[in-house]
Structure 1
Amino acid sequence: MIVLLFRILILVALALLVYTWIQYFRNPQRRLRIAKETNEFYFLDEPDNNKKNIQFVYKGCLFQGEKYVGATEYSFEVVDIHVVVDDSLELKGLTRDDLYFLENEILLRYPHAKIEWKHPINQLLLTSIE
C-alpha cells in the first residue's frame, strides 16, 4: 500500500514539474526579457484588458505605455497612450525613425489612439531635422 502511495506521489510530482516547466516557457515577461537581451522587437499587451499597460522592447530599450479609454465616433476605444521609458540611458542609439516605427506598431494595434511620448523621448521628436 505504501509503495502504491509513493508511486502516485511521484506521478503527481512529475505532473507538477511538467506544468511548471510549460508555464515558465510561456511566461510573457520572460519573452520580454529575452527580447531585451537580444535587441529584438517584442510587443506585450492584453488588448481585451484596458487597465493593463502595454510594454514593448526595441533595440534593448524597454518602453511602457499607459492606455486611456475614451469615446470615438461609434464606441469606446483606447484613445490615448502615454509612452515612457524606465531607464533613459537605454535610449542611446535610438533615432527618430525608430520612434516612428514604434508609433506605427502601436497604431496598428490601436488605430484610434493618440500617442504621447514622455520626457526624454519627446525631446528627440521636437528637434528639427537637419
Structure 2
Amino acid sequence: MIVIMFRVLIIAAIILLVYSIIQYFRNPQRQLENAKGTKEFYLLDEQDNSKKNLHFVYKGCQFEGEKYVGTTEDSFQIVDIHVTVHDPLELQGLTRDDIYFLEKELFLRYPHAKVTWKHPINKLLLNN
C-alpha cells in the first residue's frame, strides 16, 4: 500500500513539474524581458481590458502605454494612448523611423487611438 501511494506521489510531482515548466515558458512578463534582451519587438497587451496598461519592447527599450477609453461615432473605443519609456537611457540609438514603426503597430491594434509620446520621446518628434 505504501509503495502504491509513493508511486502516486511521484506521478503527481512529475505532473506538477511539467505544469510549472509550461507556465514558466508561457509567462508574458518573461517573454517581454526575453524580447528586451534580444532587442526585438514584443507587445504585451490585453485588448479586452482597457484598465491594464500596454507594455512593449523595441530594440531593447521598454515602453509603457496608458490606454484611455472614449467615444467614436458608434461605440466606445480606446481613443488615446500615452506612451512613456521606463529608462530614458535605453532610448539611445532609436530613430524617428523607429517611433513611426511603433506608432504603426499601435494603430494596427487601436485604429481610433491618438498616440501621445511623453518626454523625452516627444523631443525627437518635434525636432526636424
Higher mean C-alpha deviation, range 75-84 or range 44-53: 44-53
- State the 1:66 CA deviation: 0.5
In structure 2, the partner of 1:97 is: 97
- State the 1:74 CA deviation: 0.4
| Structure 2: distance between partners of 1:52 and 1:118 | 18
| Structure 2: distance between partners of 1:52 and 1:8 | 41
Residue 20 (structure 1) aligned with residue 20 (structure 2): yes
The one-letter amino acid paired with 1:41 is: F
| Structure 2: distance between partners of 1:21 and 1:35 | 19
TM-score (norm 1): 0.97
The one-letter amino acid paired with 1:29 is: Q
- State the 1:8 CA deviation: 0.6
Paired residues in the alignment total 128
- State the 1:26 CA deviation: 0.7
Matches within 5 A, 1:34-73: 34-73=34-73
In structure 1, the partner of 2:75 is: 75
- State the 1:10 CA deviation: 0.7
- What secondary structure sits across from 1:30 in the alignment? helix
Structure 1 runs of 4+ off > 4 angstroms? none
- What secondary structure sits across from 1:3 in the alignment? helix
- State the 1:101 CA deviation: 0.5
- State the 1:21 CA deviation: 0.4
- State the 1:106 CA deviation: 0.2
In structure 2, the partner of 1:112 is: 112
Structure 1 gaps, min length 5: none
CA RMSD in angstroms, aligned pairs only: 0.6
